Amino acid sequence: MRSEPTELLPSRGTNGATIVSPFWVTVKGRIWANIKRRISSLDAGRGLLLWVVFLNLSAVIIGVVLVTRGESAPSWWKLAALAVVAGFAERQAVRVTSNVEMTVSFLPFVFTAVAFGPLAAFVVGAVSNLAILRPPYLQWSVYTPARAISGALTGAAAILVVPTDHRGFGAIVLATTVAGLVNFAADTVVNVTTLVLRRSASGKSFIQAAVPFFVLSLPLYVPVVALMVYGYRNYSFWMAATFLLPALALQRLIHLYQEQREATAGLADANLRLEQASLSFAAGLVATLDARDRYTAGHSAAVAVYARDIAKRLGLGDKEQHVAHLAGLVHDIGKVGLPPGLLEKPGPLTPEERLHMEQHPVIGERILAKIEDYAEIATIVRHHHERVDGAGYPDGLAEDEIPLVSRIIAVADAYNAMTSQRPYRDAMPVSVARLRLAQGVESQFDTAVVAAFEAVLVGASDAYRRGDHGAFPVSITERPRLVAVAASA
């Protein structure tokens, strides 16, 4: 798999993107477009340069030794075919986490090592890098020789266990298992050394990330590679291809599926940021209203919490609970459009002033309807002063004509208003306010909503029942997990 630099893997300067696979774990990076121009900018440039030189010299020496020893290799077209398939597998990486990608290059790579020996694996490992010939170009200095060396070691381990002409399936499985272990060990040494020299992450952190993939993938890939080798040795090269091609096709399907998952995760993250901005905006509106009317400061926050808890008690889903909370926060925002002095008036309102006051749900709806994604909230705010008997305002709706969340807000709003200190009266005792709610069922309030709120109050603290402002802080990150629910609804 390929990934952007993280704390786990080297940061840009020596790597760029990173590939981690079950049996080929490597670090790709960018050190220099021009080595002389960039080497001075690296803290560990000298050590890395020596490491690059060491890898390349080692690869050359190993290649020469394999050729002079007369190690066998298949025909050129088979090597070319395997290198092409390995290169294709490298390009079809699948992201399994935010910083790790996995490839199935192990299939053609280890198949080559077990079926044909170290020289063939050496060549396929090096040539397959043609598929990733693109910046950062330092991969040719680190990744190519490391890949070739790993192939040689893997092939040598396989033929030490079982000769390349052995046809028994059990022996082939054993050789493939040993080859996989050696491959992983060689890759780990290369990657850990590069990380330490780059000083971008610890070797321990790399091992902790790579080992789980190795452990999970070994039982999956070893039988497939063993079947490929068995098919080749007992039948033909094309029989091996019948196992390889479906595996690569499956990898492509997984690749497409993972891309879809990444897109979905990205959308959920964007929705989370938007929702947090929405709650922040709502909190700002509440603060504006609270600054104007000191007697109702904190009222909206209390109504929001009451409404959310009622919705939860009624068995509503996460989305509805979230909507109730947000609507409770902004239910009185229309009061910012009322004439000066009306909210602060210490005595009873005149009929004319009462008419003005009854316009605040309409004003609130107008304000909120102009905000994207607040259409539902705007409708709820408009109807939070309706009554189930049809005697409410502004539209005289009755019973189920009133949105359920509006009926919830009506109960929460009335209760907190009764238990709060107002300029024209003292706060009512909790017991009196609860009695008033009970008396208003089937006329002003929805019976089920009042019953749910009563159940909430029974198990609540005294501060919660009294509506103490300290018990209801306005949180702009309240229940952020609801964003994904709202987005999917």
483 touches 272 (CB < 8 A): yes
Which pLDDT tens digit goes with each residue over 136-161?
666 677 778 888 898 899 989 998 88
Whole-angstrom distance, CA of residue 78 vs CA of residue 241:
11
Whole-angstrom distance, CA of residue 352 vs CA of residue 345:
14
Which pLDDT tens digit goes with each residue over 261-309?
666 766 766 666 666 666 666 666 666 666 655 555 578 888 999 999 9
Query: What residues of the chain score a pLDDT lower than 50?
Result: 1-37, 39-43, 97-100, 475-489
User: Which value, in Å, is the radius of gyration of the alpha carbons in the chain?
Assistant: 35
Closest by alpha carbon to 271, among 15, 35, 484?
A: 484
pTM of the model: 0.48
Angle at which helices 45-68 and 169-198 cross, to 10°: 150
Burial of 250 (0-12, 13-18, 19+ CB in 10 A): exposed
From first CA to last CA, the distance across the chain in angstroms is 33
Q: What angle do CA 37, 41, 42 make, to 5 degrees?
A: 120
What is the per-residue pLDDT for 40? 45
C-beta atoms surrounding 356 within 10 Å: 15
Burial of 263 (0-12, 13-18, 19+ CB in 10 A): exposed
Phi, psi of 19 (to 5 degrees): -115, 130
Whole-angstrom distance, CA of residue 144 vs CA of residue 130:
9
207: CB partners within 8 A, 6+ apart: 188, 192
Per the omega criterion (within 30 degrees of 0), is the bond before 394 cis? yes
Helices (H), 293-403: 299-313, 318-330, 351-357, 360-369, 375-382
Whole-angstrom distance, CA of residue 81 vs CA of residue 73:
13
The helix (run of H) or strand (run of E) holding residue 386 is none
Closest by alpha carbon to 156, among 127, 182, 123?
A: 182
Give per-residue burial for 402-439: e unless 16+ CB within 10 Å, then b.
bbbbbbbbbbbbbbbbbbbeeeeeebbebeebbeebee
Whole-angstrom distance, CA of residue 194 vs CA of residue 188:
10
What is the per-residue pLDDT for 77? 86
At which residue do the structure tokens 């039982």 appear?
Answer: 219
